[in-house]
Structure 1
Amino acid sequence: MSIADMRRQYRQGHLTHDDLTAHPIDLFKQWLGAAIDSGIPDPTAMTVATVDADGQPSQRIVLLKDYDHEGFVFYTNLGSRKAKELADNPRISLHFPWFFMERQVRICGRAERLSTAQNTKYFLSRPKDSQLAAWASQQSQPISSRELLMTQFHQMKEKFAKKEIPLPDFWGGFKVRPHQIEFWQGGEDRLHDRYEYTLQGDNSWTTQRLMP
């Protein structure tokens, strides 16, 4: 079968004006909770899109680690490609692809660095091997082999075998403060339901239905 002929109907639900909440994060909380309860793999996984100095966008999958009415939080190596691009251009887009539920959420906003205290609190809550991996990897930098990466990991394991693993000065988090959030629910015959929230100057949100 040609991939051009691969298609299916979306019939799992609808999104109406009555389903909307005054603040988009409250609707996001409902949808994320439903995704978690459904048992789909990695419900907190989101695509993070950034843009480099030449205007070239890049995307990668990152796990959402916290959220509130102010924004969405993720952590990374501060020497990584995404962190370097955000340092020059804090505009960012997030995307939650809940395909199994025929839902998507798209977020546009600006990324701000978290404080050292916030970074430390989360870093110390991570499993020890995840802490060691942060020390062992210079994220986004070339490496000749996996064997070398594992060597660096085991070196860190020996170094911190008998003491608490400290927060690396090259590791931290970002909070994405959104100004636009779109909720997408798949619809039959490609007549999808789409609602877009836009932040106003008084910090209220307006909504509008978008054509599919």
Structure 2
Amino acid sequence: MKKVVVLTGAGISAESGINTFRDANGLWEGHDIMEVASPIGWNNNPALVLDFYNKRRSQLHSVAPNLAHKALVALEKTHEVTIVTQNIDDLHERAGSSNVVHLHGELLKVRSQFDENLVLDWKDDLHLGDLCEHNSQLRPHIVWFGEEVPMLEKAIDITEQADILMIIGTSMQVYPAASLLQYAPASTPIYFIDPKPAIAPNENLTILAEKATVGVPKVVEELVENFS
């Protein structure tokens, strides 16, 4: 079985109705990014941050995986597929993908401020006063600006073993996620699927300037036919 590593970003979730990370004006749902996605914002106004993610979590319950998510699940029948996603939603898991690594955390989990390794599943609203077993406030299990990306080393190890690399719905302009591309073996075929691809030409690179629900099924069909 070929090892297929899939890097996904906001574009694949957008087609399910989840708003992308930020608008062209730098705002996220009308908020300055640093107000709702940084330790400083959390310290300044934790109630605002909790409300922001409560709304994101509520929205997540109203959307469903799309054709791109489902095509990646189908690929598991013939390939060893690992998804490394920048997205904090659970659409890959709900579609049925069995091996998903979340670089930037997960919306349906929270963690202790006292012990960052104490992570809990959480599907409902999170409020001030919701405490962990150490009597410490729980916070969203999200990697905010200025924080380390704990799953990065695992993602690097996975990318280094890729026989085939797919990049879906991401500009590959945001670091450290964008750095993963350089860890793929030099001869690895790369498929880049995005309506506005921003990537340097490469002899191993195939670009599909299409949205995920169109481009991903095409690539999956090709991989099943030619690399099984």
Tell me the TM-score range normalised by the shorter chain: under 0.3
Q: TM-score, normalised by structure 1?
A: 0.26
Structure with higher Rg: it is 1
Write 1 or 2 for the structure with the bigger share of strand: 1
Q: TM-score, normalised by structure 2?
A: 0.25
